[in-house]
């Protein structure tokens, strides 16, 4: 695997140089995907909790739907968001196409189902254990959902990280709604796709390695934070 070692060396070199263009691309990737993750958590976690404790018609259908939507193809999400944000589309007047905001919107839509489905699982398991106690103390379902979300915060980090992982790794949606514009909407994955197009496979692979390293760092940070918090709060 000659290419691997070449790319590894190249990745190390790029990293050591702290190339400003590369840094900007990495930061944009993180900004877009972390914002999308945050939004997806704000939407998906309450949604998952309501699906877990709620009793309303269509609940099971929704659960199956969200599970299925975890496999939503990024290109399809990209296309839908493109058609919405395009000047000819219903939200065209805001001029959001080919901006980081458009990328945040697409990635949020992409990962809300993941966060919601995983949160539902966490909250549902806790609900089984806490149900009688919470009801006895006088918590209604809405209140119970809130309590369970707070109480499951350590397990829920996994849902957030899964969402972030998918967001930061996808290329299909951001390519379409971002347009891979140099210095504006070019992120790690679209850069990798571009360098692959140019046939510069070692550089593409090196960028891929940097992406993996960045994602790894974030996961390590989250893991340590969770461990510390769990030690503190049980």
Partner 1 sequence: MGGKALGMSHESNCTWLHLDQLGLTEGNIRIIDAITLKVGAGRTAILGPNGAGKSTLLRLMHGLLRPSAGKLHWPQTLSQGMVFQRPVMLRTTALANVAYGLKLRGVATKERQQRSMTALARVGLADFADRPARRLSGGEQQRVALARVWALEPQVLFLDEPTASLDPASSREVERIIKEIAASGTRIVMTTHNLGQARRIAEEVIYLEGGRVLEQTPAESFFRQPQTTAARSFLQEETP
Partner 2 sequence: MIRNLRRKIFSAACGASLLLAVSAHAQERFITVASTTSTEQSGLFAHLLPAFERESGILVRVVALGTGQALDLARRGDADVVFVHDKVAEEKFVAEGFGVKRQEVMYNDFVLIGPQNDPAKAAGKDILAGLRQIEAAKAPFVSRGDKSGTHAAELRYWKAAGIDITAAKGPWYKDTGSGMGPALNTASSMNAYLLADRGTWLNFKNRGDLGIVVEGDKQLFNQYGVILVNPAKHAHIKQADGQKLIDWVVSTAGQKTIADYKIGGEQLFFPNAGN
Q: What does the binding site for partner 2 look like in residue numbers (CB under 8 A)?
A: 31-32, 34-35, 38-39, 42, 86-89, 92-93, 95, 97-101, 104, 179-182, 184, 194, 196-201
Shortest distance (Å) from residue 231 CB to partner 1: 9
Partner touching 194 among partner 2, partner 1, none, CB below 5 to 8 Å by kind? partner 2
Residue 154 sits in the site that holds partner 1 (CB under 8 A):
yes
Q: What is the Cα–Cα distance from 12 to 187, expressed in whole angstroms?
A: 19
The region of 43-51, 56-64, 106-114, 143-151 touching partner 1 under the rule CB under 8 A is 143-151
Which residue in the set 133, 201, 212, 221 belongs to the binding site for partner 1 (CB under 8 A)?
A: 133
Nearest to 114 by CA among 159, 77, 144: 159
Residue 22 to residue 194: CA distance in whole angstroms? 14
Q: Does residue 234 belong to the site contacting partner 1 (CB under 8 A)?
A: yes
58 binds partner 1 (CB under 8 A): no
Measured in whole angstroms, how far is the alpha carbon of residue 205 from the centre of its chain?
22
146 interacts with, out of partner 2, partner 1, none, CB within 5 to 8 A per kind: none
Q: Which is nearer to partner 2, 36 or 123 (CB)?
A: 36
Burial 149-158 (b: 16+ CB within 10 A, else e): bebbbebbbb
- Which residues, at least 6 apart from 115, have a Cβ–Cβ distance to it below 8 Å? 37, 40, 41, 43, 44, 45, 48, 159, 160, 162, 163
* Distance from C-alpha of 66 to C-alpha of 69, rounded to nearest angstrom: 5
Tell me which DSSP letter residue 139 carries. -
- Please, what is the minimum distance in Å from the beta carbon of residue 151 to partner 1? 5
Which residue is associated with the tokens 């990328």? 103
Which entry of partner 2, partner 1, none binds 138, CB below 5 to 8 A by partner kind? partner 1
- Residue with Cβ nearer partner 1 (71 or 138): 138
- Name the DSSP letter for residue 99: S
Residues forming the site for partner 1 (CB under 8 A):
129-130, 132-139, 143, 147, 150-151, 153-154, 232-234
């Amino acid at each position: 695997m000659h290419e691997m070692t070449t790319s590894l060396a190249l990745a190390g070199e790029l990293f050591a140089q702290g190339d400003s263009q590369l840094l900007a691309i990495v930061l944009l990737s993180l900004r877009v995907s972390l914002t999308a993750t945050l939004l997806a958590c704000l939407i998906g976690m309450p949604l998952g909790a309501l699906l877990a404790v709620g009793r309303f018609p269509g609940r099971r259908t929704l659960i199956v739907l969200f599970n299925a939507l975890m496999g939503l193809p990024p290109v399809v999400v990209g296309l839908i968001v493109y058609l919405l944000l395009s000047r000819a589309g219903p939200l065209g007047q805001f001029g959001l196409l080919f901006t980081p905001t458009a990328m945040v919107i697409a990635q949020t839509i992409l990962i809300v189902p993941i966060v919601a489905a995983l949160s539902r699982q966490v909250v549902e398991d806790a609900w089984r254990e806490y149900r009688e106690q919470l009801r006895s103390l006088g918590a209604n379902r809405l209140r119970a959902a809130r309590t369970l979300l707070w109480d499951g915060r350590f397990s829920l980090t996994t849902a957030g990280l899964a969402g972030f992982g998918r967001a930061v790794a996808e290329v299909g949606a951001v390519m379409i709604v971002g347009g891979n514009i140099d210095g504006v909407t070019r992120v790690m994955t679209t850069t990798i796709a571009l360098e692959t197009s140019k046939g510069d496979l070692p550089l593409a692979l090196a960028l891929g390695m940097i992406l993996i390293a960045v994602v790894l760092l974030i996961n390590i940070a989250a893991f340590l934070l969770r461990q510390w918090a769990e030690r503190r709060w049980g």
